[in-house]
Chains A and B, each alone.
Chain A
Amino acid sequence: MLETELVDVINLISDIRHGKVYTSYDVAIHTEQLIEKLISEGQWNTAEDLMVLIKARINRIMSALPQESTPVNIMRHILKIIRELYDTGFKYKSEGQQSLHHLITSNVDNAEDYSKPLPSLRSSLLDHLAEYKTGLELSTDNIATQALEHIHADEIILTVGKSNTVEKFLKHAAEKRKFQVIVVEAAPLYHGHEMAINLTKSNIQTTVIPDSAVFAMMSRVNKVIIGTHTVMANGGLRAACGVHMVALAAKRYSVPIMVLAHMYKLSPLHLCYEQDAFNICASPADVLPYSSGPIINKVHVYNPVFDYVPPDLVTLFISHQGGNAPSYVYRLLSELYDPNDNEI
């Protein structure tokens, strides 16, 4: 495919790289808009053409930003929507997920043919996308409304760094209940400070602690509530650096960990596929400023961005549909994506 045809996705990649589109919610909305534009204005006649166009974009993003799973997840989900609409459009019995039952009952070789033109596809796709977009926009609110089920009066909640979803969640609970929040400052970016300021504005009693005090404080904590960057297929997390330590401390004191995760954070990939690409290192200047003098020449400084948290440390995922255990993630994945799209 020509570079010029992929200009939309190249722009998105550059926006993400330069931090113009920063939060995963913004990434999600931008991706959705990109695909919506592609569907309404792009050059395609059949579902197959469209899927090829989207897959080219997925490949582009995966090679440019391997650790950024949100845009790829959204596109994968849209591929599934296309498949479903195509199947219903032609009254095929939807093949659905690969299952043992299907293996036994299906009559035909499941030939994948999406090349027949379906005139109504464009309009029905746009309808579905509009619906999907509203879902995206309401996702944070839907998660926040569950706050009262999880936060009780006089509890002590610990959270790490800053997450918009967690912030809304806590604020929603604070409207009805009084509780205390401990914010881990999350060096070297110290987003936790900003989070603490935002929470105090809503009259939540907030304490900021350094990362090293997590273990000392954990014995008093009732619940850990965090956000995440990605949920892997096995229920593990790709979360901000330092979360693994918090999760281990919580495990030690048997404190439950709730992870607030939008559906677009669920990735059908396992850790092994991308060992090298799993983590990224940010500028070391935050750890050791360039002004530190001659020592800079003598030491190695690393500033990794992510942690992998194994699924057995997570108690519950909270999405807009409600709470799910990590062992249930595979079900959510089979609802979200078509198994044929897991590898592109």
Chain B
Amino acid sequence: MQTSEVKSKFESILNEQEDVSTGIAAIMTLMEVLKHYNSITIQGLIEELKVAMEAMKDTNYSAAAITSGCELFRRFITLGTMDYHTFDECKEIMLKRGNLFLKKLKEAKGKVMKLGSQFIIDGSKILTHSRSRVVLHTLREAAKQNRYFEVFVTKSQPDDSGIRMCKDLTELNIPCTLILDSAIGYVMEEVDFVMVGAEAVVESGGIVNKIGSYTMAVCAKAMNKPFYVLAESFKFSRVFPLNQSDLPDEYKYSPEMRKRDLSKEHPLVDYTPPALITLLFTDLGILTPSAVSDELIKLYL
């Protein structure tokens, strides 16, 4: 597939299917690449997948989510190549297993929702940041179980995604308040816990998420409030940032921004270290940050 084809395929998946997260869309696109691949070597296939991944990163979607999704898929291909006689046979098996794999990934959100909604008890006040599908669905799930709770949502500059989150919550009849990003400290004393999504979960057990998450985590720690992260396991990523400047530029800036002087640009994501995270709710269960590195080691060793 041509680079432009890959890009348009990837973007059309995300535009058409509201419920699909970036990571899954990236994997779905790679499945398309695999389907249309007509050379006959694994080596060539891996090369083509790499090109497709670079192409997707060149779009305006979160590079962190795309990278972790694609890395997982590539790992899946390399672990999956077994002793088959012909490449076609191998490809067929890969496609079959790929679909099964995708199906499991799509079930992940349901599992996360189920685990996360248990922590929302009657009367809770929850602070969340930006707009995350999995957080929204978890809150919806808790509301469905007739729990009464209140949500504070940050406006989340620069894209103001919090406004949309607040609108979505209001439609679900969940009481919610939009707050300024700078008011995180102000509301922290009245909330019971913080619940955010993640673009990627890194090897240390920390997360990469919309800018401002780190501020929120530091603030939550200072006031002794639990900081919960909801993330499906396909967001687990093999990077180990030590500080903010350690994050790859492609995570922090959009392709357009990268063409300009970076010192004048606003980063889009930040890194929240594991020490500030209480628990991560994933489809593999409720994990402490240290359990995340364990999972990644098991996979990539």
Contact = CB atoms under 8 A, between A and B. Distances in A.
Given A104-B76, A272-B121, A327 B295 contact: no
Interface string B75-99: 1100110000000000000000100
A281 interface: no
B121 to A, nearest CB: 6
A339 interface: yes
Contact of A107 (B97, B286, B295, B299): B97
Interface residues of A, number: 23
B295 A99 contact: yes
Nearest to B73: A104
B118 interface: yes
A58 B286 CA distance: 22
A270 to B, nearest CB: 6
Contact of A105 (B79, B121, B284, B286): B79
A339 B285 CA distance: 8
A234 B296 contact: no
Nearest to B278: A234
Contact of A235 (B286, B288, B294, B298): B288
A99 B288 contact: no
Interface string A173-198: 00000000000000000000000000
Given A234-B279, A339-B285, A103 B233 contact: yes
Contact of B101 (A104, A235, A272, A275): A104
A328 B233 contact: no
- For chain B, the bracket of interface size reads 20 to 34
B72 interface: yes
Contacts of A342: 285
A270 B299 contact: no
Given A109-B100, A339-B285, A100 B299 contact: yes
A101 B299 contact: yes
Contacts of B287: 330
Contact of B295 (A100, A233, A328): A100
Chain B interface SS verdict (over half): helix
A331 interface: yes
B291 interface: yes
Nearest to B295: A100
Interface string B267-287: 000000000001100011111
Q: Is the interface of A mostly helix, strand, loop or mixed?
A: helix
Given A101-B299, A103-B233, A104-B76, A327 B290 contact: yes
Contact of A98 (B75, B119, B236, B284): B284
A275 B121 contact: yes
Contacts of A92: none
Contact of A272 (B75, B97, B118, B283): B118
Contacts of B266: none
A104 B299 contact: yes
Interface of A: 98-101, 103-105, 107, 109, 233-235, 270, 272-273, 275, 327-331, 339, 342
Interface of B: 72, 75-76, 79-80, 97, 100-101, 104-105, 118-119, 121, 233, 236, 278-279, 283-291, 294-296, 298-299
Given A103-B233, A327-B290, 16 more contacts: A98-B284, A99-B284, A99-B299, A104-B75, A105-B80, A109-B100, A234-B278, A272-B121, A275-B121, A328-B290, A329-B288, A330-B288, A330-B290, A331-B294, A339-B285, A342-B285
17 contacts: A99-B284, A100-B72, A100-B295, A100-B299, A101-B295, A103-B105, A104-B79, A105-B79, A233-B286, A234-B278, A235-B288, A272-B119, A275-B121, A327-B290, A330-B290, A331-B291, A331-B294
